Structure 1
Amino acid sequence: MPTPILHFAPANGFPGGSYRSLLEPLKTHFPVVTLDRLGHHPSYPVNNNWQNLTHEFLAHLDQQVPGKHLIGVGHSLGGVVTYLAALEQPERFEQLILLDPPLMTGLDSLGLKLAKRLGFIDKVTPAGITRGRRSHWPDQASALAYFQGKKLFQNFHPQALADYVDAGTEADPKGGIKLRFEPKVEVAIFRNLADHLTGSHKKLNLPVTVIRGSETDLITPARAKKLEKMGFNCQQLPGGHMFPLENPEATRKLLLQLIQQPATA
């Protein structure tokens, strides 16, 4: 059997290079292909339930890793879009490992539908706090100091934070540097969170592992139990929703363990 390729998809707002400290050492074990970002290609504008993002993801696979034998790994947004892609083309994947993904089903899904319809989706997702976020700095040192003071980044591994600043910014033609992941795209992605996943697991005959952070407010213990009842293997690592960038070494060790001994579908 051909050596499997690990394909990694990042979280909303975090270009793939942000995960260098997690992924680079894995390349000694098997090929690793990292998706840079979703939602920025004009052919795939963000729409409801991340349908266009899924099509963009599949087009990326066609170009970068055609064929089968993929280990699909994704964080947050990247985990759900990997899952959606596997629903459409399960033959590509050997297994899925999803890192704190917003896999909302049942009442959670109904709540999302209601929030979208009644216009308060910004209050139940990070869209509200993302609007108007700072996106420009004089240089990388200034950006690094700025993010070090933000709650979301407080527990990041120092190398992961440096990688985020390096991969997540680019030169601004007007001077200084700016975010590569456009805040307006990030907001649109949050506002269109997938709400159609109830019962979707019945269509997927693949080993699926969900890893949650011990302090996350997304995949709560109650949601983890629900996912286990759906047949997913649920694991836990120290940290919050951003645990892959807070504890890259522990995350990498668990990934290797799961890949070598995949859960049964």
Structure 2
Amino acid sequence: MSLPILHFAHANGFPAGSYRVLLEPLKTHWKVESLDRFGHNPTFPVDHNWQALVNELLDHLQQACSDQKVTGIGHSLGGVITYMAALKQPQRFEQIILLDPPLMTGLDSLGLKLAKKLGFIDKVTPAGITRGRRSHWPNRELAIEYFASKKLFSKFHAQALADYVDHGTEPDPRGGIRLRFDPGVEVAIFRNLADHLSGSLKRLQVPVTLVRGQQSDLLTPEREKRLKRSGFSCISVPGGHMFPLEHPEETRHCLLQLLKPQQ
């Protein structure tokens, strides 16, 4: 008997291998699938509202899982494109679990549209910071030391940080190592954050649960309240927006509680 499939979609800038410490133990009972880096396949270039990334996810599911239904789990970017994929092809999913997704609805959606139209999107998303980020290091050890000193990474589980450096960098022909996730693609993803999802839950035909980090500066308590009023089920776990990499054990325990009993 084949194992049920769990498909994991990563956050912007974090290749799927970064989540090894979270996902590896799940392979005892699930076949865990993931796409290494969204936005790097020229067939699916980053476009308005992430439509091509949704198609990239669905194409990957067809290739990796054929017609077998999957449980879709996504962090941040991965959560939103998993949600959009379930809207587009609900027959592909048993359920979806979204980890701190930037699910912009209502006033958030209107503000995002305005930021895009008036050209200040880099100020309301991490795009502005990403444009100037460092992308090269002399070696692995210095890369780990560098990231550990940065606010975004400072609370990462030690193994998750090492996995991020191991899976998120590659040898640079000029010497040393460089980022594998193209910073230009990362910026483009931030600039095209989906702004068209207000009222979309009414069309969703798949069970969905949102999981937010208790200290998240993205899926804040105020946003959680608004999403709950829209009909979303939302629970919280320790950590900030990057909680799957800060608290992988607690995150995995939460996922196990949410996964359907037959799985």
Aligned to 1:221: 221
Aligned to 1:101: 101
- Percent of counterpart pairs with the same letter? 69
Question: What is the deviation of 1:65?
Answer: 1.4
1:32 aligns to 2:32 (yes or no): yes
* Change in CA separation of 1:204 and 1:244 when aligned onto 2, cut-off 3 Å: same
Post-superposition Cα deviations, 1:46-100, rounded to whole Å, max 9, x if no partner, equal: 1110011111111111111121320000000000000111111000101000000
Quote the Cα distance in structure 1 between the aligned partners of 2:120 and 2:68: 40
Post-superposition Cα deviations, 1:183-204, rounded to whole Å, max 9, x if no partner, equal: 1110000000000001111111
1:74-85 alignment, distance < 5 Å: 74-85=74-85
Aligned-partner residue type, residue 87 of structure 1:
L
Deviates more, 1:57-66 or 1:6-15: 57-66
Quote the Cα distance in structure 1 between the aligned partners of 2:116 and 2:36: 28
Preserved CA contact (<8 Å) 2:211 2:236: yes
Aligned to 2:117: 117
Instruction: Give TM-score, length-normalised by structure 1.
Output: 0.96
Aligned to 1:246: 246
SS at 2:96's partner residue?
A: strand
Unaligned 5+ runs, structure 2: none
Aligned to 2:163: 163
Quote the Cα distance in structure 2 between the aligned partners of 1:256 and 1:67: 24
Question: What is the deviation of 1:226?
Answer: 2.0
* Change in CA separation of 1:246 and 1:58 when aligned onto 2, cut-off 3 Å: same
1:167-186 alignment, distance < 5 Å: 167-186=167-186
Count of residues in Structure 1 that have an aligned counterpart in Structure 2: 262
Aligned to 2:62: 62
Question: What is the deviation of 1:6?
Answer: 0.4
Quote the Cα distance in structure 2 between the aligned partners of 1:137 and 1:36: 22
SS at 2:178's partner residue?
A: strand
Quote the Cα distance in structure 1 between the aligned partners of 2:96 and 2:230: 14
1:202 aligns to 2:202 (yes or no): yes
Aligned-partner residue type, residue 143 of structure 2:
A
Preserved CA contact (<8 Å) 1:2 1:69: no
Instruction: Give TM-score, length-normalised by structure 2.
Output: 0.97
Deviates more, 1:248-257 or 1:26-35: 26-35
Preserved CA contact (<8 Å) 2:46 2:52: yes
Quote the Cα distance in structure 1 between the aligned partners of 2:236 and 2:261: 16
Preserved CA contact (<8 Å) 1:3 1:69: no
Quote the Cα distance in structure 1 between the aligned partners of 2:68 and 2:194: 25
Question: What is the deviation of 1:143?
Answer: 0.6
Aligned-partner residue type, residue 257 of structure 1:
Q
Aligned to 1:143: 143
